[in-house]
Structure 1
Amino acid sequence: MENNFKSWMAQPISKIFIGTNLVFALLFFVSVPSFVKEYITQDAVSIGGKKYDLSDVKNSSPIAYSKFQSEYKSLLKNTFGEFAQDKLFELVAKDRNIKPSEVLNEGLILREPSEEDIINVYMSNKAQLGGKSLAETREKIVGFLKNQQEQEHSRNKYREIITKYPVDFLIKEPEAIRVTVDEKNNPSIGPKDAKVTVIEFSDFECPFCKRSQDVNNQLREKYKGQIRWVFRDFPLPFHQDAMYAHMAANCSIEEGKYWDVFNVLFENSGNLSKSKVDEFVLKTGLSKEKYQSCMKDQSKLKSEIEADIQDGQKVGVSGTPAFFINGIFVSGALPFENFDEIIQKELKQ
């Protein structure tokens, strides 16, 4: 509630309309269209007199083509979603003899928030209110609570509409774009003969990489024994402490402490000065003597890490985190469902 209230407080007290994202969340799961040759060759670029179309992009830069498909999917989702919403409102308005703009608010009765609710919101968000008293913020808080009532009413209305007027997107799935990504004996979790292999390129200092670890752990737990997870180094050049952290992690491999070090480094991402990294690593039980001996050969360690970076760049990795699920590229710290969908399909093949 704190984050919702904070963003809402910046707005004037007025009616806040529900955007199309709500209908997307409640309505349906949209798939990407297949890209047949006759369509992907319509648009092109001419370079030095030679014409190149999307089929050339697909052949030479599969990751760029995959990103194109993803963006096209989002565009379709927005376009059809807005169209579907308008049509649904028209149908309901005709049935009930009201205007389309009145559909969401039909039957809406706002109750006055209780004093207890008002005080709870105030106390939960007091630190964000700049020292203002309850009396000074009461009007805003009441508006916020009434807006929550409107949103709940709108969600219920959408559910009613969808039940009466089902919506199906008749769109075909595209072929999966795959690239070959080598493991190169990097640290891994899961059986070597697993049907699904996930290769992660990540950076211990990257906040998005840290955020993605919760999802990664959920996936490994759900598909324990069914997937193999491989970690490859990709410290970004503008993260000044990342390279040292990755070297330290690699120095823990031989003693079987890699995943312990891995976890502690991500837990402390953002606090990875050299002295802190050394402290975190040794707290995992790693031999101080062996660790210091390994860290002396920084040239060798950097060479191994840079090889990971180069391999990642060859297959289109330009930022972190980046994942390849059986060669299918997934970019960024995305929700669990995005990975889960791909993994399920791969296990069924």
Structure 2
Amino acid sequence: MKPQTFIPFVLICITAASAFSQGQTGEVLVTGKGIRITAGDLMPRTKAVYDSVASSIAAARSQILSAYLAEQLLDTEAKARGISVEALEREALAKVPDPSAEVIQQVYDANRAALGNKPLAEIRQLIVDYLRREPEQTALQEQIDSLQKKYSVTLLKNVNAADIRPTDAIAKFGERQITY
């Protein structure tokens, strides 16, 4: 694609994505010099990106709300117990056992070439960290799930609702309401 056509193409894509994220899917996306471009006029790859914008934004909003609630729950529990959030997280991580020597050896044997044929003693901790990663994430999620029950977290409104306003309460835990 020539530089003279690439820049307008990028501007069209950005404008199209912006228009879509604002809910203007049936309207003309861009006009210029008598040309009207709609979503149907976009090339297949660009249209796929355009079509995925709304779901990407919705997923991001949901993830941000989940992360915010988790942060607030951990902070509330840590304050109630008189410890730091880091200490609370360490409690959950301490419940995850190290993998057995046999499992470490199996992973090492299966991946020796990819690990540059380095001796096991040199990369053992790397393997242990890898094998602990998923169980640690599970332990942290279980801790959050437990705190959600303890503090009676309730989702009041869908964070992706079309009619949501900044003053709307979207979640509640204990007596606290979280607004959009």
Q: Normalising by the residue count of structure 2, what TM-score does the alignment of the two structures yield?
A: 0.51
Q: Distance in 2 between matches of 1:112 and 1:79?
A: 31
How many residue pairs get aligned? The number is 125
Give 1:59's aligned amino acid. Answer: E
CA deviation map 1:277-304 (0-9, x unaligned): xxxxxxxxxxxxxxxxxxxxxxxxxxxx
Give 1:136's aligned amino acid. Answer: E
Unaligned runs of 5+ in 1: 1-44, 46-51, 175-349
1:66-77 correspondence to structure 2 within 5 Å: 67-77=52-62
Q: Distance in 2 between matches of 1:141 and 1:69?
A: 39
| Partner in structure 1 of residue 35 of structure 2 | none
| Partner in structure 2 of residue 197 of structure 1 | none
Is 1:104 the counterpart of 2:89? The answer is: yes
CA gap 1:122/1:76 in 2 versus in 1, 3 angstroms: same
Asked if structure 2 preserves the Cα contact closer than 8 Å seen for 1:105 and 1:154, the reply is no
Secondary structure at 2:90's aligned position in 1?
A: coil
Post-superposition offset of 1:112: 4.6
Is 1:88 the counterpart of 2:70? The answer is: no
Identify which of 96, 100, 104 aligns with 1:118.
104
Asked if structure 2 preserves the Cα contact closer than 8 Å seen for 1:90 and 1:100, the reply is yes
RMSD: 3.6
CA gap 1:70/1:103 in 2 versus in 1, 3 angstroms: same
Unaligned runs of 5+ in 2: 1-14, 29-37, 41-46, 163-180
| Partner in structure 1 of residue 26 of structure 2 | 58
Asked if structure 2 preserves the Cα contact closer than 8 Å seen for 1:118 and 1:141, the reply is yes
| Partner in structure 2 of residue 314 of structure 1 | none
1:1-349 correspondence to structure 2 within 5 Å: 54=22, 58-60=26-28, 61=38, 67-106=52-91, 108-109=94-95, 111-165=97-151, 166-168=153-155, 170-171=157-158, 173-174=161-162
CA gap 1:71/1:58 in 2 versus in 1, 3 angstroms: farther
Give 1:58's aligned amino acid. Answer: G
Structure with bigger helix share is 2
CA deviation map 1:154-176 (0-9, x unaligned): 232122123323341512655xx
Give 2:122's aligned amino acid. Answer: E
Higher relative contact order (CA 8 A, sep 6+): 1
Asked if structure 2 preserves the Cα contact closer than 8 Å seen for 1:121 and 1:141, the reply is yes
